[in-house]
Copies of this chain bind each other. A is one copy, B any other.
């Protein structure tokens, strides 16, 4: 590893991670990062839903790994991901409604509900299919609760 390569990597990270100044349109960096977060969440929810529905066989290791990932993602600190002005009426490429910034306390309370539901799933997922099924409704409800109020319909 040369010093030059480390600096190249760091410069690239700065471009990707420093926010909208380096992006093609306002808040593109933030929007892509938060969409990445929700894609990771959905990706890890997938096996739990598949097992609960009987589409795939229950596997304790996969269930636990998925639930661990969901708990970690739902625990990420959100502040920098949601800058004012990055809503669906102000910029393209996002379904985040302006109402998010009108009642941020409610949004963050709903995100905390998601985190608590994720932690409960983390406790239950490895214990058996009943554990997954028992927590999935709460977890899915936390997801819907925020989407219904703060995400633009497709």
Contacts and interface: CB of A to CB of B under 8 A. Distances in A.
A17 B144 contact: no
Contacts of A47: 17-18, 80
A contact patch SS: helix
A43 B69 contact: no
Interface stretch (A6-14, A101-109, A122-130): A6-14
A5 B148 contact: yes
A36 B148 CA distance: 23
A6 B46 contact: no
Interface string A124-154: 0000000000001100110111011000000
Contacts of A145: 1
A152 to B, nearest CB: 14
Protomer copies: 2
Q: How large is the interface on A (under 10, 10 to 19, 20 to 34, 35 or more residues)?
A: 35 or more
Contacts of A38: 36
25 contacts: A5-B148, A6-B140, A7-B140, A9-B147, A10-B45, A10-B136, A11-B49, A12-B42, A14-B45, A14-B46, A16-B46, A17-B42, A17-B45, A33-B43, A36-B36, A36-B37, A40-B76, A43-B81, A62-B80, A65-B80, A66-B80, A69-B77, A72-B73, A72-B75, A73-B76
